[in-house]
Each structure stands twice: as C-alpha cells, then as structure tokens.
Structure 1
Amino acid sequence: MAELGMDVPQPHVVILPFPAQGHIKPMLMLAELLCHAGFDITFVNTDHNHTHIDQSGFHSRFPRLRFMSIPDGLPPEHPRIFSGRLAPDWLFSTRSVSKPKFKDLVISLSQETGRWSPPTCIIADGIMSSAIDVAEELEIPVITFRTYNAGSTWINFHITKLIEKGEIPFQGDDMNRPITSIPELENILRRKDLPSICRVEEVENPVLQFYITETAAMTRASALILNTFNELEAPVISQLGSIFPKIYTIGPLHALLESRIKDHPRSDSSNGSLRKQDRTCLTWLDSQPSKSVIYVSFGSVVVLTHDQLLEFWHGLVNSEKPFLWVRRQGLLGMDEEVGETPAELMRGTEERGCIVGWAPQEEVLAHRAVGGFLTHGGWNSTLESILAGVPMVCWPQVADQQPNSRFVSDLWGIGLDMKDTCDRSIVEKMVRDLMEGKRESIRQSSAEISRMAHDSVQEGGSSYCNIDKLIEHTRSIM
C-alpha cells in the first residue's frame, strides 16, 4: 500500500514498547509499516534508549514518524540488565515512574495544535499494562502487542492454572516431568521448558506476579498483535482466539517490511538497534565456504559467567568449525574482564574465528557462509533464523527463551535444545551435529518452514493480509 497523501485525515497512533532491544525492534518495524500506510506515529522510548537510537534514517523515509521519550526511573549508571537482582528494578520502574510520565505525554499530545491530530489509538507492549491504564483513563482505544510468539503467550495465560494445580513452584527436582495441562502443548512441554519466571521458590515472587498481572491486563485491549505467522503456530493462535476478539499475526516483521516497502534497507540499523554494529564481519564471512560458519549470539540481555564463556569458547574451537561470535559489552554483566585466555583458544580463534561487539544479524543469517546459529533463543533471533532457513542450537536463559528452545527442537524440528547445560564437550558435539549434516531432518524442516515464512509475507500471504486487516481495524476505531 502506497503512503497516502498528507492532507487525508489519518489515525495518530502512540506506540509504547518495553524499554529493551528485543521489544523496541519489532514495535518499531510495526511503526514503519503503519507510517507507510499513511498513519501518524509517535514512538515513545525511555530517555536512556532515546539517546542511543539513530533516528536520522527514519526522519527522511518516514516524515510521519516521530520519536519522543519519558524517564524510566533508573539512574544513568544502572546497567539495565535483565538478570538476577537487577531484573525487578527494570520491570517495576515502568509502573512507578513511566506510567505518570506517559500519561502526561499523551495528554500533551492531545492538546497539540498544528499538523498532528490528537492520539486516536495506543499500541502498548504486552508487559506495559500502565499504557492500557492510561488509555482507559483518557478514553483512547488500545491494542496490545506481545513480542513473544503465540506459544509462549499462551503458556503465560496458563501460569495461574499451573499454580492452582500445584505445578508451580516445582516440587522435587525432576525438571523433565511433563506439563500436561496446557491445551495444544500437552505432549511438548516439560518443567524445564516453562518460562524462566516459573523457576521460583514461592508463588509470591514479585517477578512471577508481575508477569501474571501484565498477562491478565492484555485482555483489556481491543486486539492482540503477534510477530509470528499462522502457518507456524495455527493451533495455538486458534486457542488464543478464545481470549482475544481479534488477533493479527504479522510476522516475520522484518520480512514483511521488505515485502511491503520495496526500498526498505535490510540493515538492522534501520530498525532501531541500540548498539553500533561491526560490519567487518560480513567481509570475513565473504571469505568463508558456503554453510561452513556457526554464528553465535546470545542477544542483548543474557549474561554469562566467566566459566560459561570459557566453556562455549572451548567448545567452538574444539568443533573445528569457523565461527562468528558476537561478544557484546555487558555479556559478562558487571565484570568485563575475561582474564588470561588459554593459548589454544587464542590460536583456534585466530585460525577460524571472528569476534565482534555487535553484528547486523539479519544480514549475517542470510549470508551464504552461515550454516548454523548458536543462540539464546529469544524470539526475534529465532524468527530471523527461521526466515533464513538456518538451523539452531538453543541455549535459553530468561523469559520466553525456555519454551522457544523446546518449540525449535521438538515442535518444529529445526534445531537442538541445549538448555540447562554448559559443557564444552556438549557444545562441540551439538555444533558438529548441526554443521556436519548429522541431523538432515533438521535442515529439511528448516528449509520448509523458511519457505512458509517467506510465503506468509508475500502478497496474498497470511501476514501480508493481516497487516491490511490491522490497518483497517485501527482506522475503524478513530
């Protein structure tokens, strides 16, 4: 759909993501698609993230998109890491500090004069119920966007049921015990595959209660948006239809952008990356044989211990496969000192490795040299790997990563699940199995699901049609 004329009255949508890279990226891609449809978009970041996003490219391509910011309530020196004792700080500040500031911002937008009309809709992140509160107070229609897949979203709606049945907290140490009370996933999930928030000692755990509350609040929205595609998760999407009157599955969003906006740049920098990319890794990949490289990235929030770092490093070097490893600032938490590196690791890395601080991941996964992805299993990374047809080894740590890794291995058959272990010999074996074609069924499934993902975003495909339906829904509630 071509961008409409500036003189035609259009919806003004305010979009509020949770202030983390994995939430900002898909919601910003949605903002671009809505701008392309002629909408006015106010995209609200925290002050901290606002200063890290390169906005220059957006202004020239999307004059209807503007960025504004509110405080996140954390001091400048706070690392904003979703790990251990720091996680509650990040979660609860969005309620106590961001909510009143967001309300003030929306009120100020309603009082603007000039080209911008008052907000006609708010699209709120699925764990930003404060935005739903504000929307209701100001009588503005609200849509929720959960940045998980359908399966993980469905699991979250059953956490209260699992507590009532005595499944959470876990009794005993059998983490392989099946979870049988979640429809459509009865034969898939084990205790260890539930989201990390379920690994608590008491039901009153504040992080667990936060997610229960946020999930319940989503049902107050007029519709649910998911960055997935019908062909991948149809049974669970159908189940979610019993909770939400309208569901718009519009993924993979990065592929839908390229399909709808023909001159849209592929680079991640166009999609709100908070980190500076090292594009020299693409040149390094150009020098490697086809399907020979294992790409390694644990995303933007996972933290490793020093021992875990060394286990992965030994496993990668011992696999004797070329590897491209993203080792971002903060990967070791507050301790950035790697210490003295064993000589064999230095030698193996010099011979076959490339280490960068951050990579243009979509381009890396699409590169002919990449044959596998060792990942934390975050949904953005998983979906990008699905589209590229690159099989995965998943090492999940937080949030939805645990169920994602199980879906990858046992529901979709497109990778291996390495959760709850970090041993160099296992890393070496799984990398070899993946890269040497010992799991041919994984490569076949990856290719087939990749084709389905590509088809979904082409004209007439499920996601292509669903973005049109979302656009019309948003126009109808003006």
Structure 2
Amino acid sequence: MDRLRLDLPPHILIFPFPASSHVGSMLKLAELLCHGGLHVTFLVTHYIHGRLLRHSDVQSRFSPYSGFRLQTISDGLPEDDPRSGDKIMDLFHSFGATARPHFRELLVSNRQQNCDTQNPINCILADLLFSFPIDVAEEFEIPFIYFKAPSTCNLWVYFCVHKLVEAGELPFKGTNLDAPIASVPGMERFLRRCDLPSFFRAQDVEDRDFQMILNETLQIPRAKALILNTFEDLEGPILAHARSVCPKIYTIGPLHTHT
C-alpha cells in the first residue's frame, strides 16, 4: 500500500444502497464525519444523484465541508425503471453485477489522481445490504466497515436465518402470520412471522431472492467492524447476541440527534 501523508485527514468512501432511506441515514453519518474533519467521498447511483439534486439540500448542506464530494456510479437499470416496490429485488440483482467493475475502476482512478497528494481513499464504509465492495476493498488492502441504519433486532434476525431453516420455521407452513418465531435467541418471547422481512415468506428456500439475501448476510463478518444506528440502553441484550458473530460493533445512534 502507498505510504500516506500523516498530516492529511483520513479519506472515507461512503457507499449506501441506492434507496432513499438508506441514502438519507448515511448522509447524516457523512455529515458527522465531515464535521470531525475527515474527507468523505459519497458514492451514489446516477439515478439517486439526480433525485438528490432535485429534491434535497445536499449541495448547500455540505458546502461548508471542503473535503466532501459526491461521486456517481451506474446501477445497471434503465432510467425509467421505478427501482421500488416489487421491482426492488431487480435492483438488488442488477446492482452487484453492474457496479462491481465500476467500483473497482473508481478506486484505481482515485489512487492515480491522488499520487501527488498521497491522500487516496483509505477506508470504505458501505451499506450492509451488499457485499461486493468487500472483495474490492480486500484487493486494494483498504479497511472495510459496514453500516446498518435499521435496528439491531433486524440485523440479528438476518444472522439467524440458517437457524430458522434448520428448525423448520422457514419456509412458513400455513398462512398464520401471527405464529411465533422461536429460533432467534433473545427474541423468543415476542417475535412473530409478520415481524420478519417480506422475502422470508418465500415458499422455497432455494428461491433466488432468498438465497441472495442469505449469501449477502454470510459475508457480514468479513468486515473489520459494524456501525449501527442504535444505542446500548435501547438494544443492549440483542447487541450482545450480535457481537457473538461480529465482535466489533459500534453504536452511534440515534444519528439525527447528533446532526
């Protein structure tokens, strides 16, 4: 790895999943990092970039931070694709295949452009919904951190998918969505089928969408750390369970109170 100038601040690439709620929460995180003096490259799809410019104050909001910049990448979908609702899984599948080579090219270009200042991207902080940036980060020997905005309870359910399958709780038998879920440690007393993400209702564990989410979840422990938008007093017991899988979990929420 190139030697870095110690007088320059860390340069972090933030890469949210291209959905408005994910982008919004990670913009709050970017603002906190900028406020702390770090340089931030915020990577979004062309589609999200257009929506940010039309419907948000992102330019004026980040104008005080000289180390912040927006950069764009293709999501592989036609411009008129809705990218929401029942089409969201199309985005999941196309994004990884399309964005991976562009993401790698971006890091190559960044290294070349910063050869004089010696301040290339030296940390990648990506949304927990996709794993292909880990492969690229490892290739470039760049530390990789995941961020997840929803609750730790939500994360822990993902970690326990294999337990649900092994226990026969997935796929669902029958149509009663109020039936309890017993195979998620720490949540046995209150978790129901209807509380699980909608794709958990697949009738076949070999379903393409279900398998993709399962495979992405299995990659999470590869990250150097997880940053969660929660706090210990709110989800301490479930955080303890999650740390059995990923020991380095940092709780910094609620983000909106810090910004």
TM-score computed with the length of structure 1 as normaliser: 0.51
Name the SS of the counterpart of 2:47 in structure 1. helix
Deviation at 1:87, TM superposition (A): 2.5
Q: Matches of 1:174 and 1:52 in 2, distance apart?
A: 39
Amino acid at match of 1:62: Y
Q: Matches of 2:239 and 2:62 in 1, distance apart?
A: 35
The answer to whether the aligner puts 1:155 opposite 2:157 as a matched pair is yes
CA contact (8 A) 2:31 2:62 kept: no
Stretch moving more, 113-122 or 141-150: 113-122
CA contact (8 A) 1:228 1:249 kept: yes
Corresponding position of 1:248: 250
Corresponding position of 1:142: 144
Corresponding position of 1:198: 200
The answer to whether the aligner puts 1:95 opposite 2:79 as a matched pair is no
Deviation at 1:176, TM superposition (A): 2.2
The answer to whether the aligner puts 1:230 opposite 2:229 as a matched pair is no
Equivalent residue pairs, number: 249
1:121-146 CA-to-partner distances (Å, cap 9, x unmatched) read 10011012111111112111100112
The answer to whether the aligner puts 1:63 opposite 2:66 as a matched pair is yes
Name the SS of the counterpart of 1:45 in structure 2. strand
Corresponding position of 2:15: 16
The residue correspondences of 1:65-464 to structure 2 (distance < 5 A) are 65-81=68-84, 83-84=85-86, 86-113=87-114, 115=117, 117-257=119-259
Q: Matches of 2:130 and 2:118 in 1, distance apart?
A: 25
**Cα 1:176/1:206, change in 2 over 3 Å:** same
CA contact (8 A) 1:58 1:65 kept: no
Q: Matches of 1:147 and 1:210 in 2, distance apart?
A: 20
CA contact (8 A) 2:165 2:171 kept: yes
Q: Matches of 2:138 and 2:191 in 1, distance apart?
A: 36
Amino acid at match of 2:10: P
Q: Matches of 1:78 and 1:116 in 2, distance apart?
A: 40
**Cα 1:183/1:125, change in 2 over 3 Å:** same
Deviation at 1:59, TM superposition (A): 4.2
Name the SS of the counterpart of 1:97 in structure 2. helix
Name the SS of the counterpart of 2:51 in structure 1. coil
CA contact (8 A) 1:222 1:245 kept: no
Amino acid at match of 2:105: D
Amino acid at match of 1:102: F
Amino acid at match of 2:126: A
CA contact (8 A) 1:17 1:128 kept: no
Name the SS of the counterpart of 1:19 in structure 2. coil
Corresponding position of 1:347: none
1:300-329 CA-to-partner distances (Å, cap 9, x unmatched) read xxxxxxxxxxxxxxxxxxxxxxxxxxxxxx
Corresponding position of 2:47: 48
Q: Matches of 1:31 and 1:175 in 2, distance apart?
A: 38
Deviation at 1:166, TM superposition (A): 1.2
Q: Matches of 1:161 and 1:112 in 2, distance apart?
A: 47
Deviation at 1:167, TM superposition (A): 0.8
**Cα 1:222/1:104, change in 2 over 3 Å:** same
Amino acid at match of 1:106: L
Q: Matches of 1:148 and 1:253 in 2, distance apart?
A: 12
Q: Matches of 2:156 and 2:176 in 1, distance apart?
A: 23
Q: CA RMSD in A?
A: 1.5
Q: Matches of 1:149 and 1:190 in 2, distance apart?
A: 16
Amino acid at match of 1:43: F
Amino acid at match of 2:31: E
CA contact (8 A) 1:12 1:119 kept: yes
Name the SS of the counterpart of 1:212 in structure 2. helix
1:71-93 CA-to-partner distances (Å, cap 9, x unmatched) read 00000110111x22x22211011
TM-score computed with the length of structure 2 as normaliser: 0.92
CA contact (8 A) 1:73 1:98 kept: yes
The answer to whether the aligner puts 1:28 opposite 2:27 as a matched pair is yes
User: Which protein has greater RCO, CA pairs closer than 8 Å, 6+ apart?
Assistant: 2
Q: Which runs of 4+ in 1 moved over 4 A?
A: none
CA contact (8 A) 2:43 2:72 kept: yes
Corresponding position of 1:406: none
Corresponding position of 2:3: none
Deviation at 1:53, TM superposition (A): 1.4
CA contact (8 A) 2:76 2:94 kept: yes
Q: Matches of 2:96 and 2:132 in 1, distance apart?
A: 6
Corresponding position of 1:437: none
Name the SS of the counterpart of 2:44 in structure 1. strand
